[in-house]
Amino acid sequence: MTAAASTSEDPGLWKTLTARPAVLVALVVFGAILAAAILAPWIAPADPARMSVRARLSPPLGDYIFGADAFGRDVLSRLLFAGRVSLSIGLGVAVLSTALGIVIGLAAGFFRRLDAPLSRLIDAMMAFPDILLAIALVAILGGSAANVVLALSIVYTPRIARIVRAATLVIRELPYVEAARALGSSNLSIMVWHVLPNIVSPITVQATFIFAYAMLAEAGLSFLGVGVDPSIPTWGTMVNEGRQYIDQALYLILFPGIAISLAVLSLQLIGDGLRDALDPRLAKDV
């Protein structure tokens, strides 16, 4: 046997990912949304909180490109600033639920004694409809942005934990893990050194999806009025506020609605692309 297998150059994750047009478009769209949100303070045409009685419900393509809301606030500026909050919440949930999920999943997969109780807990949490559990948690914790992140992280942690547990159960039994144990590796070093690197791919993919779900759930919570404080613009609160004027000013829910859809759709496509690119079994022309 020689090193022939490795002579064909690995095309690299980025190349594989961008080879698919849908994923490439999604990356561009999401990149644009992200850039717009980050640059909001510099590119927003107006102060998102400044009200004007005269501009009340003025339609798009007039003085205000995306129109003005019921308080005469510039919709475009609000959209840009709301994006910062919505994306931050999505990212926060993705990061926090991944961290929690890794810890719980590793513990359940590694220590047989913890497996049954932790797995039942995960099952029980997954049996609840996401949005109901989130509403209940926000109701208990109170409606700040941080609490919404916490509540949604708790809701999505089981998804990561399940994947991590399943992968850990498989990897734990691999010969090289047994060999490592026979040569003195501790449980912790086996987890960090052998198990974690093996599950980076499925976790990354799932975290991307959770990012999208969390943004959608945040919008849902805000729309239902149990999300973040209404004074903080998020895409969800914008839809909620616009709902009352749906017969006079459809654009009030149209633009934040489009923003949510584009962000979630592009993230989902990126997640799909990542899954395909990271899974060697789905890799084409190898």
Partner 1 sequence: MSEAPILEVAKLSVAFRSRGRAVTALRDVSFAIEAGKTLALVGESGSGKSVTSLALLGLLPPNGKVTSGRASYRARSGDSLDLAGLSQRDFRKIRGSEIAMIFQEPMSSLNPLYSIGDQIGEMLDLHENLDGATRRRRVIEMLEMVEIPAAASRLGNYPHEMSGGMRQRVMIALALVCAPQLLIADEPTTALDVTVQAQILDLMRRLQRDMGMSILFITHDMGVVAEMADDVAVMYAGAVVEAASVKTLFANPAHPYTRGLLASIPRPGRPEGERLKAIPGQVPPLTALPRGCAFAPRCDLALTACEEPVSLETVAAGHRAACIRASEVMADA
Count, residues in the chain: 286
Closest approach of partner 1 to the CB of residue 196, in Å: 10
**Beta carbon nearer to partner 1, 107 or 148:** 107
Per DSSP, what are the bridge partners of residue 68? 74
**Beta carbon nearer to partner 1, 144 or 201:** 201
Closest approach of partner 1 to the CB of residue 179, in Å: 4
**Beta carbon nearer to partner 1, 128 or 176:** 176
Structure tokens, 116: 């049954």
Rounded (to 5) percent helix, strand, coil in the chain = 70, 0, 25
CA dist 103 and 137 (Å) reads: 21
- DSSP category for residue 94: H
For residues 166 and 176, the answer to whether their CB atoms sit within 8 Å is no
**Beta carbon nearer to partner 1, 144 or 185:** 185
**Beta carbon nearer to partner 1, 102 or 214:** 102
Which amino acid belongs to residue 192? V
Residues of the shown chain interacting with partner 1 in the complex, contacts defined by CB under 8 A: 1-3, 5-6, 112, 174-176, 178-186, 189, 193-194, 197-198
Closest approach of partner 1 to the CB of residue 185, in Å: 6
Closest approach of partner 1 to the CB of residue 111, in Å: 11
Closest approach of partner 1 to the CB of residue 81, in Å: 42
Burial 36-48 (b: 16+ CB within 10 A, else e): bbeebeeebebeb
